[in-house]
Chain A
């Protein structure tokens, strides 16, 4: 397993994507799977940045290659509970005028990954998702 902690800011994304790129090369995982993994990490990471700015700690990201899949875990050390798996489905219909700005991130994450779970334990929020390598 590869695990690192990243500063709680959008500017960390470049370093996070280097982290996933290096992991994919080292584990010989096809680059075609990286889009979904990077996308899900970005949406979950930036949610933690936006909605918990007061926590001075960084956000821990762990990548693990398992049989036929990659498991990714993001941990926010001290956060109010927010179950990302319970987020309502986004309404993707409607005209340009009717469409709200935003609200698409978690909807798209659920479309791109194969499983996603959430737990809140000892004050920490952890989101885990699986991307199958098929």
Chain B
């Protein structure tokens, strides 16, 4: 079960499992995000390369206008995925339990 929504502070909240079957829905949601935002991944258990592609598309759109997405509360498995894919160099990433 995957969910994506806006939180009370304007942050994006993703929960559950972000697999290829959810990419279209997530992309449609994020295409409406017009400015840099924090993305809270505390409840996100899983992401595949299809999810990474969605995040990268948004980052490519936002970065030219300044800052992009900041990914926070990232669990260790997903942090490894960000590291192995080099996403830790193109996104601001904050591990779970920080801040």
Tell me the B residues contacting A by CB distance below 8 Å.
17, 19-21, 46, 48-50, 52-53, 56-57, 59-60, 63-64, 68, 77, 80-81, 84-86, 89-90
Within 8 A of B (CB), among A57-97: 90, 92-97
Query: Is A108 a contact of B17 with CB atoms below 8 Å?
Result: no
Q: With A35-B46, A101-B56 in contact, do A42 and B19 touch (Cβ < 8 Å)?
A: yes
What residues on A are CB-neighbors of B19 within 8 Å? 10, 13, 17, 42
Query: For chain B, what secondary structure do more than half of its interface residues adopt (helix, strand, loop), or is it mixed?
Result: helix
Whether B86 pairs with A92 at a CB distance below 8 angstroms is yes
Question: In the complex, which residue of chain A has the Cβ closest to the Cβ of B64?
Answer: A97
CB distance from B49 to the nearest CB of A (A): 4
A112 to B21, CA, bound (A): 21
B21 pairs with A13, CB closer than 8 A: yes
The 6 closest A-B pairs by CB, nearest first: A92-B86, A105-B49, A35-B77, A10-B21, A111-B84, A104-B49
* Chain B residues with CB below 8 A from A101, complex form: 53, 56-57, 60
